[in-house]
Structure 1
Amino acid sequence: MPAKTIMVQGTASHVGKSILTAALCRIFHQDGYRVAPFKSQNMALNSFVTADGSEMGRAQVVQAEAAGLLPSVDMNPVLLKPTGNASSQVVVLGRPLDNYTAWDYHQDLAGKLWSIVTAALDRLCGQFDIVVIEGAGSPAEVNLQDTDIVNMKVARQVEAPVLLVADIDRGGALASVVGTLELLPPGDKERVKGIIINKFRGDISLFQPAISFLEQKTGVPVCGVVPFFDDIYIQDEDSVAIESKHDHAGNDGGKVEIAVLRLPRISNFTDFDPLESEPDVHLRYVGRKDKLGQPDLIIIPGSKNTIEDLMYLKQTGLAGAIARLARQGVSVIGICGGFQMLGRELKDPYKTESAIEKISGLGLLDMQTIFAREKVTSQVQAVVAEDSNFLSCYNTPLTGYEIHMGRTELGTQVKPAFVINIRSGCQVHLLDGAQNAAGSVWGTYIHGIFDNDAFRRHILDMLKEKKGLNTVGQAVLISTEQKKQAGYDRLAELVRHSLDMQLVYKLMEM
């Protein structure tokens, strides 16, 4: 029997579609159903690599985890990774296709991808009881309706009832709901079966007249009002989320201060969520030289365009500030693109990431990176290199994943940081990363390395010891996985009590 479906669309981007989709996945999972998420086309720099080496959007990974599933690219068959203001790398079924301008994608490619989208959706509908579908942006963008493969065209394909979400915290929620419905063609307007008001603050009884107005004006029931929250741990999918994070230096003196560089094209910033969750860490995102201060650790994150973001560091003076602090003994870590920036030189002979073919790096590690045509995407297991300068006593295997175009060659003044012994399920012996003689500057291609709880704690204890802080009995080992699952449960409880779930089930004819 084909799966029942329900679709979550929004009046705009960033109204909370992804997190509400995750909530519904968890609720249906708790209620005993086999449920899967689906988003035909996602645009994000935060991506993940599945067990078979396929790349997909992190939002659908979060939703799969909430549903108790391992992620699959069928849940996100098309991923757009922006490379510039009007161009993206197009990833189809987990593999990069090519870079396309927005014009070429919408006018030429999107329609050709429709059969791939429907095939992925059909496979999910054949395997699960419920498929929760997420839209993108707004379905009322009339200039894109003819080439749409992510909103109403998907709803029409599987006859999915649509829940329309509006963000009341940004203001104008009532107008955005009414305006969105007015701009939809009559047939699509009829597909909207419920309205959700998201991120509500204050006394909900005072909002009741607005609910009555919306229902009378639109003829569509309000399924619920979800309160604003910021105390439930759910990984963010988009770098917009870090714009609200604090960047002020200084703490109470008893914490390790970590500065993550806020690169313009930052990717996979969820690498640092586990660090931010530690009670003895003060983590901040820094995009300006005058905000850098004197942290205990500087992290240069991944980037979708490493060379362009390296130029940004140089133009803003951050590159010089980082080099100065590194000479003073401040620890510096680079992840993926950030690791590549630590070297002497970066070369892009095929113009894979940028029109710039060669650029000098930060010069903190004796190595060079050459960008290749093929992307490496794989889940890995690794161990600390035997002659490591900074973690010689750490021998627990680490897990993570690789997403990179570059190949890095080490010079004589550095040593590898890790050895990858399993890649995509196969036993290998591959050197990864690099470290300087003092062990104060190191980098790796492994994303998710701080998700390894004991490793993360070991790094933090080393930093605390270096700072002169007590490391004995001061911190409890936090399980990243347990924290994730607890977050999904708390989210489901909040949304379950905010929505009329009987109505939601009725809309799905269940």
Structure 2
Amino acid sequence: MNGLIVLGTASDSGKTLICTALCRILSDEGVRVTPFKSQNMSGFSATTENGEEMSRAQFIQAQAARTKPSIYMNPILLKPVANMKSEVLFFGERFGPIAGMAYREQFFTRGIEAIKTSLVKLAETYETVIIEGAGSPAEVNLNDREIVNMRVAEIADVSAVLVADIDRGGAIASIVGTLQLLPPEHRKRVKAIIINKFHGDVSLFQEGIEFIESYTGIPVAGVIPYKVDHGIEEEDMDRPVTEAPAGVDVYDVWAKHVKANLNWPLIKEILSPPGEMK
């Protein structure tokens, strides 16, 4: 099973929606594609037809991929509750509420096994996996026991695409800083950068693209214009979503918007197993 992992320079950079678009684009090309996020912290969940509870985001991504949502697409769900604790769900089995430090100490090994089990199971049905990371891969204080970003990339042996949110400002600094904080073996997995939530004339950002590429040595695979009316629910926030125009398939519209602003041949090359990349 080939694939890639979508990482972000920060939370809310747009990883979830980029993964959603990639799932629909690949499905449109006849690829048997599955989403995957090892661990999701969210109070918003959905239930599969088998009664399994999983993250709303991966449920939506499965719909975009035109496949049945499965607990293997999101084996670990953390549902925040009071007093800095979370209810922990492993393949739907509930534990907790558990404090963050206790979770790190008690569930790391079990988390790694859940990731491996899920990827093996998904490979029985799918040929491509679109993996979503969480937060930033450069949280150096958490990297010893992280199970959501580069450790997943290593287990799946996939390359990475790094997404930065330019809407907030500081996108170039966040890209450079993230890459510099990654150890060499992780940095070499990053094969492309996506600038997300861009406002205005993209041509005015050409100098920024050239700087990013020359400074990092990594190509910018796309600059995605901000689209307010995509109509797709967010991963872990209850912010109002502007509805898409009536009668449209929101996944089709969003996928076309992303693909039109993406170097799709480059993304397809990145999807190849690392040993087969040019």
Q: Is the structural similarity TM-score above 0.5?
A: yes
Q: By percentage of residues, which structure has more strand? A: 1
- Relative to 1, partners in 2 of residues 1:218 and 1:117: Cα closer, same or farther, differing over 3 Å? same
Pairing 1:56-205 to 2, within 5 Å after superposition: 56-205=54-203
Identical-residue share of aligned pairs (%) = 46
Which blocks of at least 5 consecutive residues in structure 1 are unaligned? Answer: 246-272, 280-477
Q: By percentage of residues, which structure has more helix? A: 2
Matched, 1:492 2:244: no
What's the CA shift string for 1:312-350, capped at 9, x where partnerless?
Answer: xxxxxxxxxxxxxxxxxxxxxxxxxxxxxxxxxxxxxxx
Q: Are 2:58 and 2:73, in contact at CA under 8 Å, matched by a contact in 1?
A: yes
| Deviation for aligned residue 1:507 | 1.4
Q: State the alpha-carbon separation in 1 of the partners of residues 81 and 36 from structure 2.
A: 24
The size of the alignment, in residue pairs, is: 273
Pairing 1:419-434 to 2, within 5 Å after superposition: none
Q: Are 1:29 and 1:67, in contact at CA under 8 Å, matched by a contact in 2?
A: yes
2:12 paired residue among 8, 14, 28:
14
Q: State the alpha-carbon separation in 2 of the partners of residues 278 and 197 from structure 1.
A: 23
| Deviation for aligned residue 1:82 | 0.3
Pairing 1:460-499 to 2, within 5 Å after superposition: 483=248, 486-499=249-262
| Deviation for aligned residue 1:278 | 11
Matched, 1:507 2:273: no
Q: State the alpha-carbon separation in 1 of the partners of residues 167 and 99 from structure 2.
A: 33
- Relative to 1, partners in 2 of residues 1:278 and 1:25: Cα closer, same or farther, differing over 3 Å? closer
| Deviation for aligned residue 1:97 | 2.1
Q: State the alpha-carbon separation in 2 of the partners of residues 182 and 85 from structure 1.
A: 35
Larger Rg: 1
- Relative to 1, partners in 2 of residues 1:190 and 1:85: Cα closer, same or farther, differing over 3 Å? farther
TM-score by length of 1: 0.52
Q: Are 1:54 and 1:95, in contact at CA under 8 Å, matched by a contact in 2?
A: no
Name the SS for the 2:67 alignment partner: coil
Q: Which residue of 2 aligns with 1:304?
A: none
Q: State the alpha-carbon separation in 2 of the partners of residues 278 and 20 from structure 1.
A: 17
Pairing 1:83-482 to 2, within 5 Å after superposition: 83-239=81-237, 241-242=238-239, 245=240
| Deviation for aligned residue 1:72 | 0.4
What's the CA shift string for 1:90-118, capped at 9, x where partnerless?
Answer: 01102212221011111221232210111
| Deviation for aligned residue 1:15 | 0.5
Q: State the alpha-carbon separation in 2 of the partners of residues 48 and 507 from structure 1.
A: 31
TM-score by length of 2: 0.94
- Aligned amino acid, residue 87 of structure 1: K
Name the SS for the 2:54 alignment partner: strand
- Relative to 1, partners in 2 of residues 1:199 and 1:85: Cα closer, same or farther, differing over 3 Å? farther
Name the SS for the 2:77 alignment partner: strand
Q: Are 1:111 and 1:149, in contact at CA under 8 Å, matched by a contact in 2?
A: no
Q: Are 1:111 and 1:147, in contact at CA under 8 Å, matched by a contact in 2?
A: no
Name the SS for the 1:187 alignment partner: helix
Q: State the alpha-carbon separation in 2 of the partners of residues 85 and 182 from structure 1.
A: 35
What's the CA shift string for 1:265-317, capped at 9, x where partnerless?
Answer: xxxxxxxx7xx8599xxxxxxxxxxxxxxxxxxxxxxxxxxxxxxxxxxxxxx
- Aligned amino acid, residue 493 of structure 1: K
| Deviation for aligned residue 1:66 | 0.1
